[in-house]
């Protein structure tokens, strides 16, 4: 029987596939044929190995080539040199610039490499060049680490990619093409089709969460609609199951917050997307303490999982008694579900958490300004300027805050009239997320299994 490799290249897709039960469902269907390739090397890496339990796993360290001879070293260096100029990031930036993705956010030297136009490479931005560059990028003769190539040649697996728009998965696509193996790919999130990298055209099946993403793959990436499966968003499966109020209260109390009062959840963005967030935290905590709002509701701050500077950026909240601050983590999706099902209001700038709040029918305030920023800076507004935010920003599903006073007013309205925008929240969540029935993970697993070759083929 054909082995099946599930490649989990980053913390986001690892959390999604483990916490929503996709890994478990694939294991139930495939048994010993399934092996996990855990490529995340961040501080969460150990958590995924632990979550894998008895499943067979391979880590990124095990795929690193050892003792390369001179010809292999030369090939690797030449491949890396070319990749920096005509490979994954150059192709992704050329595609985004031509399509107009993230136009307002592009900035030379941006820490998010998908937003740095300097990485588009030295070649002219002629459309006719891109197919030639792409042919090299996914070409069968590119350098592939020997441990990976030898295993592919020996095992001839089917390969399922949990996030197809990652530099780390390119060797798997190249090796799979070299041996004619079945490739299946999952588009990791609702915003990835429009500005988060190129999409290989060489996969047998593509998995997306809604029809908008399917249309994006057709329009912007040239993928045939018949190869695209719309499954809904697996993360909504976690939200679909109701948590008891006691679970929420336990989390809040553990943060030193009284759950007897209404709880306002303040969701952070990354330091790259929200460099002035600490000033917003300072002002919100100061206002909450001095205005008498502390007697009316509690505050819980949740820094972004990728925020490694959170202790400094949320120092004002950490220093204040009865204000809660969660430690950032990619491994607490269950806890996030409890917070979003029972929290009384959500304050956030952008990102998936804004969509999470709407899916969970939480009254939400979207912050569209940068507290204390120099004149001309507009990170918060640019964060919601992408094509994938169009439906959200055209809706009336949340309160908009273009200054601090709007944040205060939005919180007051959210707490006083929690059902005011409920109908619009439900409409937009349905459009952007797709079907919410608790069975999206099931459908993802089914698509992966159905794309495998027939026994004996």
Label residue 392 by pLDDT band (50, 70, 90): confident
Q: What percent of the chain has pLDDT over 90?
A: 84
Distance in angstroms (rounded) separating the CA atoms of residues 78 and 63 = 19
Quote the pLDDT of residue 455: 58
- Please say if the pLDDT value at position 17 is more than 60: yes
Across the chain, what does the average pLDDT equal?
Answer: 94
Closest listed residue to residue 90, CA positions, set 41, 129, 139: 129
Burial of residue 327, with CB atoms counted within 10 A of its CB: 0-12 exposed, 13-18 middle, 19 or more buried: exposed
Label residue 83 by pLDDT band (50, 70, 90): very high
Q: Cα-flanking dihedrals φ and ψ of residue 163, to 5°?
A: -150, 105
Give the homologous superfamily in CATH for domain 242-433: Glycogen Phosphorylase B; (3.40.50.2000)
Closest listed residue to residue 444, CA positions, set 236, 202, 209, 173: 209
Domain boundaries 4-65+145-236+439-450, CATH class: alpha beta
Distance in angstroms (rounded) separating the CA atoms of residues 398 and 366 = 7
164 touches 13 (CB < 8 A): no
- Least confident stretch, 7-21, 118-132, 184-198, 428-442: 428-442
Query: What's the average model confidence in pLDDT over 118-141?
Result: 94
3 touches 157 (CB < 8 A): yes
pLDDT in tens, 324-379: 999 999 989 999 999 999 999 999 998 889 999 999 999 999 999 999 999 888 99
Rounded to the nearest 5 degrees, what angle is found at the Cα of 88, between the Cα atoms of 87 and 89?
A: 105
Residue count of the chain:
457
Residue span(s) of the chain under CATH 3.40.50.2000 come to 4-65+145-236+439-450, 242-433
Q: Residue 28 contacts by C-beta under 8 Å, 6 or more apart in sequence?
A: none
- Please say if the pLDDT value at position 72 is more than 90: no
Helix (H) or strand (E) holding 37, with range, is strand 34-38
Q: Cα-flanking dihedrals φ and ψ of residue 85, to 5°?
A: -105, -30
Label residue 109 by pLDDT band (50, 70, 90): very high
Q: In what order do the strands lie in the sheet with 263-267?
A: 323-325, 298-302, 263-267, 345-348, 364-367, 399-401
Label residue 22 by pLDDT band (50, 70, 90): very high
Helix (H) or strand (E) holding 27, with range, is helix 22-30
223 touches 206 (CB < 8 A): yes
**50's tokens:** 């632990």
Query: What's the average model confidence in pLDDT over 82-106?
Result: 94
Quote the pLDDT of residue 67: 81
- Please say if the pLDDT value at position 457 is more than 70: no
- Please say if the pLDDT value at position 454 is more than 70: no
Quote the pLDDT of residue 190: 86
Query: What's the average model confidence in pLDDT over 124-142?
Result: 93
pLDDT in tens, 219-244: 999 999 999 999 999 999 999 989 99
Query: What's the average model confidence in pLDDT over 308-335?
Result: 95
């Amino acid at each position: 029987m054909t082995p099946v490799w599930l490649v989990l290249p980053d913390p986001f897709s690892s959390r999604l596939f483990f916490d929503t039960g996709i890994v478990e469902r694939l294991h139930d269907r495939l048994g010993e044929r399934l092996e996990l390739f855990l490529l995340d090397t961040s501080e969460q890496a150990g958590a995924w190995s632990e979550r894998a339990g008895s499943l067979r796993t391979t880590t990124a360290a095990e795929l690193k080539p050892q003792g390369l001879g001179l010809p292999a070293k030369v090939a690797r260096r030449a491949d890396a040199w070319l990749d920096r100029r005509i490979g994954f990031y150059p192709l992704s930036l050329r595609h985004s610039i031509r399509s107009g993705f993230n136009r307002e956010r592009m900035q030379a030297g941006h820490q998010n490499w998908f937003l740095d136009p300097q990485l588009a490479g030295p070649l002219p931005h002629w459309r006719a060049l891109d197919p030639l560059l792409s042919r090299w990028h996914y070409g069968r003769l590119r350098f592939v680490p020997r441990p990976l190539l030898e295993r592919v040649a020996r095992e001839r697996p089917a390969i399922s990619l949990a996030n197809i728009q990652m530099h780390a998965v390119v060797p798997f696509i190249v090796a799979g093409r070299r041996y004619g193996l079945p490739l299946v790919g999952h588009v990791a999130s609702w915003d990835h089709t429009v500005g988060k990298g190129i999409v290989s055209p060489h996969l047998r099946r593509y998995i997306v969460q809604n029809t908008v993403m399917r249309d994006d793959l057709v329009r912007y990436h040239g993928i045939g609609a018949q190869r695209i499966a719309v499954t809904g968003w697996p993360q909504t499966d976690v939200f679909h199951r109701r948590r008891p109020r006691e679970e929420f209260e336990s989390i809040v109390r553990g943060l030193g917050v009284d759950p007897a009062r209404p709880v306002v959840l303040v969701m952070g963005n990354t330091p790259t997307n929200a460099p002035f967030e600490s000033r917003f935290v300072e002002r919100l905590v100061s206002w909450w303490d001095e205005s008498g709002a502390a007697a009316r509701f509690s505050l819980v701050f949740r820094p972004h999982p990728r925020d490694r500077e959170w202790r400094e950026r949320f120092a004002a909240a950490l220093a204040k008694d009865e204000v809660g601050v969660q430690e950032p983590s990619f491994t607490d999706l269950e806890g996030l579900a409890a917070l979003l099902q029972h929290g009384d209001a959500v304050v956030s700038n952008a990102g998936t958490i804004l969509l999470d709040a709407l899916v969970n029918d939480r009254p939400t305030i979207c912050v569209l300004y940068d507290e204390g920023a120099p004149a001309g800076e507009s990170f918060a507004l640019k964060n919601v300027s992408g094509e994938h935010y169009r439906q959200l920003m055209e809706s009336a599903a949340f309160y908009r805050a273009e200054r601090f006073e709007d944040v205060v007013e939005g919180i007051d309205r959210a707490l006083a009239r929690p059902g005011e925008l409920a109908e619009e929240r439900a409409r937009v969540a349905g459009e952007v997320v797709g079907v919410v029935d608790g069975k999206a993970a099931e459908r993802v697993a089914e698509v992966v299994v159905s794309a495998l070759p027939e026994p004996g083929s």
